[in-house]
Amino acid sequence: MIYAILRRFGQMLFVMFGISVIVFLIFFATPGADPAARIAGRNASSEVLAAVRHSFGFDQPLYVQYTRMMEKIFVTGDLTSFVNRGWKVVPAVMDSIPVTLSLVFGAAVLWVMVSIIIGIVAAATRDSWLDKLLMALGLLGISMPVYWLGEVMNLITQSRYHDSWAFSWVPPLGYKNFSDDPKGWFLTLVIPWITLAILYIGIYGRVLRAAIIESMQEDYIRTARAKGLSEARILFRHALRTSLIAFVTLFGLDFGALVGGSALLTEVVFGLHGIGKLTYDALQNLDLPMIMATVMYASMFVVIANAVVDFIYILLDPRLRAS
């Protein structure tokens, strides 16, 4: 057990090291990315440029620059932005984490619950009108782009029908801290949660339905019927558990990616200053320290999410436990 955790940890360090080196090298190989020129301003003289280079350490060899940047992220935590002088990137990332986590976590709870219900109902009523309707709705959810859906949601809840009884409770866009205002936190996030979840409900519902239907063909389902168990018990206790394995794999990948910044579009549409937005802005400004910090954070989450998935696997499937 301890060995497995250590192995995961080693793997995480390896992934983070690899990614950071790649990001670092790509940055310096990108044309027009010279940070000194950007920092010094548009018409800076060559003396100013040289001074900036020296004060930021750009005249050092790359590996020295790399080591110093890593040290500043992980040890001293005082890495500053190249673009906004004095803006410390580590606290900026730390501030964005609760926003993204709130968004993604709430949406995940919603999509997991709803898609499990949809998957089970569709599989249980296979080929009926209800199954067909649910699958058609799922497909609709998958095909709606999230930024478009978000804008439509905003249009409805913020302007067109904001004054109607149905949506008058929706607060203006933005994020409220859970610790300051739990009710406000919840209300501002409801619409973003639904928007983000709709896509995943469609995908997960379909995946689960297919997995359950596949399990229902297994020999052990026939055994369960021969035992005289009720159809409901067969479905919930025997077919569902084995079907959840595919579901969990997908969830680990999606959740890790979303927490790492893939919820960008949702964040932008709803004015939430999360990791996605932070990464996006940093990329726009070619702000290496910020890019580096967000990328490090994202890769850490992807690896952690994968470790959690592996753990759930072992809970779900005893065949994977070492004897």
Partner 1 sequence: MILSVRDLRVSFRTHDGPVRAIDGVSFDLGESEILGVVGESGSGKTVSLLAVMGLITDPNATIEGSIRYKGRELVGLPPRELRRLRGNEIAMIFQDPMTALTPVYMIGWQIAEQIRAHRGVSKSKAMERVEQLLAEVNFPNPHEAMSRYPHQLSGGMRQRAVIAMALSCDPALLVADEPTTALDVTVQAGILDLVRKLRAKHKSAVVFITHDMGVVSELADRVMVMYAGRVVERGTRTELFSDPRHPYTRALLGSIPPLTGQKPRRLPAIPGSPPSLLRLPQGCAFGPRCPVHYEPCEASKPGLGSGAHAAACFRVAQA
Partner 2 sequence: MIDADRPILETRSLAKRFSIGTRFSAEGRRTVHAVDNVSLTVRRGETVGLVGESGCGKSTLARCLVRLYDITDGKLLFEGDDITSKSLSELRPLRRRLQMVFQDPSASLNPRRRVGDLVAEPLRIHGKLSAKGITARVAELFELVGLLPDHVMRYPHEFSGGQRQRVGIARAIALNPDLVVLDEPVSALDVSVQAQIVNLLADLQEKLKLTYIFIAHDLSVVRQVSTRIAVMYLGSIVEEGPAEEVFATPAHPYSQALISAVPVVETTPSGTRKRIILTGDVPSPLKPPSGCRFHPRCPIAVERCRSERPELQEHHPGRKVACHFPTLT
Site string for partner 2, 304-323 (x = CB under 8 A): ------------------x-
> For residue 86, which phi and psi values (nearest 5 degrees)?
90, -10
> For residue 105, which phi and psi values (nearest 5 degrees)?
-65, -45
Query: 10 Å Cβ neighbour count for 207?
Result: 19
Q: Which is nearer to partner 1, 164 or 223 (CB)?
A: 223
Alpha helices in the chain (DSSP H): 2-29, 35-40, 46-56, 62-71, 89-124, 129-143, 146-154, 182-215, 219-226, 231-233, 240-257, 264-269, 275-285, 288-316
Q: Which is nearer to partner 2, 10 or 91 (CB)?
A: 10
Q: Answer positive or negative: Cα dihedral of 312, 313, 316, 319.
A: negative
Site string for partner 1, 194-223 (x = CB under 8 A): ------------------------xxx-xx
Partner whose footprint covers residue 228, from partner 2, partner 1, none (CB < 5 to 8 Å by kind): partner 1
CA atoms within 13 A on the CB side of 244: 18
Residues between 2 and 31 with contacts to partner 2, criterion CB under 8 A:
3-4, 7
Among 187, 229, 250, 312, binds partner 1 (CB under 8 A): 229
Partner whose footprint covers residue 183, from partner 2, partner 1, none (CB < 5 to 8 Å by kind): none
Partner whose footprint covers residue 7, from partner 1, partner 2, none (CB < 5 to 8 Å by kind): partner 2
Structure tokens at 17: 């090291």
Can you tell me whether residue 80 is helix, strand or coil? strand
The distance of closest approach from Cβ of residue 131 to partner 2 in the complex, given in angstroms and rounded to an integer, is: 32
CB 177 within 8 A of CB 189: no
Q: Which is nearer to partner 1, 73 or 224 (CB)?
A: 224
Q: Please identify which residue in the block is written with the tokens 């159809």.
A: 231
Partner whose footprint covers residue 322, from partner 2, partner 1, none (CB < 5 to 8 Å by kind): partner 2
Residues between 234 and 293 with contacts to partner 1, criterion CB under 8 A:
237-238, 241-242
Q: Which residues bind partner 1 (CB under 8 A)?
A: 218-220, 222-230, 233, 237-238, 241-242, 316-319, 323
Contact positions toward partner 2, by CB under 8 A?
3-4, 7, 322
